[in-house]
Structure 1
Amino acid sequence: MEPTEPPAGPPGPPQRPGDQSGQGQPSPQYGQGTPPPQYGAPQYGQPDPNQPQYGQPGPPQYGQPPYGYPGGQNQLPPQQQKTSVFAILSLVLGVISAIPFAIIFGIVALVRIPKTREKGKGMAIAGIVLACLWLVGIVLAVAFSDSDPERDASGQVTATADVAPEKLRVGDCVAEVQEGEVQDIKVQPCSQPNGGKVYAVFELPKGSFPGLDAVQASAETGCTDRWKQLREQATDLSDIFYLHPTEDSWSLGDHSVTCLLAPR
């Protein structure tokens, strides 16, 4: 027997039945990688660029608004709410004690604000409250000014107080006498240095207001005559003063004249 020559190289892997060597694609050999993927075909572990990934929004679908535009329409900024002019006027007038106008404008503002949807309800309420506080203060001031001063059993004033001129009596002493219209006058005990003393009080004839000049003339004549009737002599150089009613006080029933002797 002739010796046979061994085959060159290591023996290959056994072929499965039905396989034909040399046909189709060659099997990968040891040390060689897998063939490269075909273009456009997604591989395992690689994201598809056409599909949205987790946590990232995908492209907008047909009929859906784009991102960032709610409702598919641009939203206009809301208009700034205006403040009621009547409310502002009510507050300003309430501060400066224009009582009737502050109350009227405040009520108008409270009625209009629900219809016009304006701001200023609090300002209107504040204006009305301020006007009411001014009104209460005036009423209290008038009430205290109309009260009689403190007197002893003989009728002499015992404490200094501001009183209305019609509250003065004969023998009362005042701190100061001023010319012009007088709303209140300070009365005090005669033991203190005073600016005048009441020596006569009388009433003018009732009826319609005769006019300011006629009232002043009647007051001056009446006070001068009554001083002469007293036949008194002033210890110091003095003048006669008189407090007379005005047209407004006349309409309220004030017809009295108060005569004072005041040192110069």
Structure 2
Amino acid sequence: MAIPPQPGPQQPEGQYPPGTPPGTPGAPGAHPPPYPHAPYPQGPYQQGPVQQGPYQQGPYQQGPYQQSPYAGPYQPWGQGYSPYNRPAPFNGFAIAALVLGILCFVPAVGLVLGIVALVQIRRRGERGKGMAVGGMVMSSIGVALLALMVATGGAGDFWGGVKEGAGGSGSTFSLHKGECFDAPGDALRGLAYDVDTVPCTGKHDAEVFAETTAHGDSYPGDSAVSAEAGDTCYALVDTYAMDAWAVPDDVDVYYFTPTRQSWRLGDREITCMFGNADERTALTGSLRKDATTLDADQLAYLKAARILNRAMDSAPEKAYVEDDLAGHKKWATRVSGALTAQAGLLRGHTFAPAAGERVAALVKNLDRSRTEWVKAAEARDADTFYAHYEKAVKLIDADKTVTTRKALGLATTPPKYDEGGGGGSGGEGGGGMEV
């Protein structure tokens, strides 16, 4: 007959009726096994067979974590197991190596990080070996390309382009004097983001004749920039197309100017160009007539003529002498001085015999005209001014220079002038584009 255990800390006195074993079904605190006749498996911490003492009447086996001899049959999680399967983490250096390898920004750093990642992955059991190897391969290619750029000088060109774009040393796109291009939509007004450079020998929308820089630290506004560009470009026409007679009447002046946004990046470039007054009509051939295309005699003649042309263009805004006699007298003084300078340049150059006689005859007319301009500058009233002015302009009429131009091989058809006194390149059809 089994003897019940004495009352103690794990079995309070009077817990079970006398003679009732703790493992008996129906007894208080009993844990009946689901399979009464099947032995319970042994857990990882149960070494060897279970020793049954005088107080272990049931089939329950005691494990090391069962504090009570009457604990139930449920096994704790054994060492080395977890309720979820957590994969090993990715190595951070492997990820960084792959990113730098793709960007090729600092290829040497990507290569070093890939090596560090492989060492850590092997030691820690982390994932990312493929990323580390891929980053090392792409970084190696980047290192090779960088070395090639340094050897060939390409790195310097690349960095110069980066500085120009970031620092704003030029406009959005750069055009240079003597280049011809086609504009988007064949339009020379509005906003332009890019153009296609084409040979000047064929058809093209525009030809660049000058590059200059806008003034000011802060953006002065669209109208102010456009006004400055117009004044500057018109003044530079005769530095590129020195023979104004060779510029077709339907050609006008256009220009690219900075926008407010590009100004903030340092863009101050103004690009002056020729274009057709009818923007749907293209230009053909270059209009360049300067030291790069003219011979010595032609260049000497046109340089002298440019002095007089600029003085004539400085006439007062008020067309009638009666409205500004003082201003017209000052203008007459400027013209007389220009005639003196022009005649001096022509006398100082030795022309070829075929043109020498015609130039000498022209110089005589210049001297006679200068005398009349001097008298006009001394006139006391408008009538006296008009009298000398009419004699002066007849002596330097364009028709009197045709034979001299023909002898020099220059254009012989005088340009048509509008009511404002400007030629074909100074009409109202021009305008600007912002870049």
State the TM-score, normalizing by the size of structure 1: 0.40
- Larger of the two Rg values belongs to structure: 1
State the TM-score, normalizing by the size of structure 2: 0.27
Higher helix share: 2
Higher RCO (C-alpha under 8 Å, 6+ residues apart): 2
